[in-house]
Amino acid sequence: MDNQGKQVELLNLLLQENLVSINNLSEIKSLSEQGGKSIEDIIFEKNLVDPEEYIKVKSRVYGMPYESLLETKISDLALIVIPPEVAKNYKVVCFDKSGGKIKIGIADPDNFKAVEAVNFLAKEEKLQVEYYLISARSFHAAVKQYRTFNKEISSALETRAEEEEQEREKSVKKEAVINRMEVTKSAPVAKIVSVIIRHAVEGRASDIHIEPVKNETRVRYRIDGILRTSLVLPITVHDSIIARIKVLADLKLDETRVPQDGRIRLLIEEREVDFRVSILPLLGREKAVMRILEANKKPPSLVELGFQGRGLRVIKNNIKKTEGLFLVTGPTGSGKSTTLFSIISEINKEGINIATLEDPIEYQVKGVNQSQIRPEIGYSFSSGLRSLLRQDPDVIMVGEIRDDETAELAIHSSLTGHFVLSTLHTNDALGSIVRLLDMGVEPFLLASTLNTVIAQRLARKICPHCKAEEELPKDFLIKIKKEIKKIPIESIEGAIKDFNIDKLVFYKGKGCSRCVNTGYIGRIALAEVMDVNDKMKKMIISGKKTLNVESIQETQKFLTLLHDGIIKVLQGFTSFEEILRVVNV
């Protein structure tokens, strides 16, 4: 039924229900024809029908159940299904969420874009949608219940300020430790910390920074590798917030002179989330940093991380080996541990004994023996590796090769029939060879054991919701084409269908509410994968410390980080601006 037919049916139903008279009906039609206004606008302007009664009738025409939200208290869990910006734009609101179902109130059933937006969000979260027709009044009542981050914090701060004033009036002197213990139990401070943590998890943050800056406390989230200020609080609550975090992490409240490390495990939206807490004393006050680790989160697959083509084939072939050394290199925060655990998930079978040494344990994998090192009691990577060798392992993962002793043990473990995976801090794949030789590893031993080296970075992915074509400056385009010509053509053609260097298309994210106007959501790995084949082994044995990209490319179709990044730009995963930020060119 078209819109005009629905209007006729609606008027007839209003007449049948005695909500309007025949005279009213004639007046409505006449005004609609003269002024071009909708029937609904005229009815509401003239106060001819109660809005809720009108929507009840309208729901019958549209075949949707009616719902009143005027007195409904909507849970936070339901509200956050649809971001407030989306709700206001499309006049939709989620008023109930249970199991895998959500109930959506829609004020304008003719707005098909609203239904598309909701269906998209529901599909992303694998939710089943039930639509209900609601009045404009119901919609506005529901929207008022959106409690934004800053409003929650402001409310808690006001309560905290009142409590502080009352404490000053009482002038009760207490010992510093006792006072701080009481502060951490107070509802406003607990709520502030709770809101900070909850919004970090909901916003996909990897780290939370709470730091004193002059006369204020700054809260920053690291999202997709970039730190952003999310909240600024008065400095008067800083010590209380730090104390609250210390209590949650079971740290010493009265110790403010030395760094402290701890862990917190919380249940957030039915998910177990671990927080690795670090407290650092600064000038006058302390700073807290919390790394967010989902306890039961499964590591993504190698393909989901961004590995493809020849690099993926090299990895797959080498992880079938039963001995040797497999290294992942890169700076802190480049996703090395995630890649290692993706590999471990690939080889994790009942007939294989896998043991790990980690600091910290970021992913918990069923069937893998995971051990947390504790350097403060002498349980380091090197001492732990000695112990692991007595556990009859087939595969050993050492979180990081930090010193000469760990490097030597890792090499000897590889020689004695173990498959060893580890990480190293170098800028590129070639640098790992130089680093291990500098650590005192003999060239012939390194050549005998080293199988594969991955160097990687993480680049932000373009937001799919605001993705648009981008035109690059001509001089920049000339430089890009020169770099593309250095890439093996089979690597490009294998990744990009109908590749034509004269018809290159580039993309960027314009910025929208889904990506908080950054243009990016999520990250993808840029990687160079070096296969230590027989030709390379001969180079290492000959003592060539100054291996370069050209010499490696003589032995294999080797892609540098830049070249892998260019391919991912041409595939539309990320932008050139992001590649230049991440890769040193």
What percent of the chain clears pLDDT 70, i.e. is strictly above it? 90
**Structural domain boundaries enclosing 72:** 3-143
Whether residues 240 and 341 fall in one domain: no
Whether residues 267 and 407 fall in one domain: no
Residue 79's φ and ψ, nearest 5 degrees, are: -60, -40
- Candidates 453, 456, 424, 455; CA nearest to 325 is 453
Whether residues 443 and 511 fall in one domain: yes
pLDDT of residue 167: 60
pLDDT of residue 179: 44
pLDDT digits (tens, 9 = 90+) for 416-443: 899 999 999 998 999 999 899 999 999 9
Distance from C-alpha of 232 to C-alpha of 235, rounded to nearest angstrom: 9
Encoded tokens for 505:
């298309």
Least confident range from 17-31, 120-134, 452-466, 470-484: namely 17-31
User: Which H or E run contains 535?
Assistant: helix 534-541
CA-CA-CA-CA torsion for 193, 194, 197, 198, nearest 10 degrees? -150
Give the end-to-end CA distance of the chain in Å, rounded to a whole number.
Answer: 60
Domain of 462, CATH number, reads 3.40.50.300
Domain of 35, CATH number, reads 3.30.300.160
pLDDT of residue 79: 81
pLDDT digits (tens, 9 = 90+) for 557-566: 899 999 999 9
Whether residues 173 and 275 fall in one domain: yes
Whether residues 279 and 315 fall in one domain: no
CA distances from 305 to 328, 343, 457, 506, 547 (A): 14, 11, 11, 21, 28
Whether residues 220 and 106 fall in one domain: no
- Candidates 212, 208, 278, 277; CA nearest to 239 is 212
Least confident range from 183-187, 211-215, 278-282, 406-410: namely 183-187
pLDDT digits (tens, 9 = 90+) for 493-515: 888 888 888 889 999 998 887 78
Quote the number of domains for the chain.
3
Whether residues 101 and 24 fall in one domain: yes
Res 456 pLDDT > 90: yes
| pLDDT confidence bin for 410, thresholds 50/70/90 | very high
* Mean per-residue pLDDT, 4-27: 78
Select from 122, 143, 164 the last residue of a domain.
143
Select from 143, 177, 197 the last residue of a domain.
143
Select from 108, 143, 178 the last residue of a domain.
143
Res 121 pLDDT > 90: no
Whether residues 284 and 350 fall in one domain: no
Q: How many CB atoms lie within 10 A of CB 284?
A: 7
pLDDT digits (tens, 9 = 90+) for 512-532: 877 878 899 999 999 999 999
Distance from C-alpha of 109 to C-alpha of 64, rounded to nearest angstrom: 9
Whether residues 275 and 308 fall in one domain: no
Residue, of 379 and 18, whose pLDDT is higher: 379
Least confident range from 194-208, 497-511, 542-556: namely 542-556
Whether residues 161 and 136 fall in one domain: no
Whether residues 537 and 421 fall in one domain: yes
Whether residues 200 and 245 fall in one domain: yes
Q: Of 222-226, 313-317, 384-388, 485-489, give the range with the top mean pLDDT.
A: 313-317
Q: DSSP readout, 570-584?
A: HTTSS-HHHHHHHS-
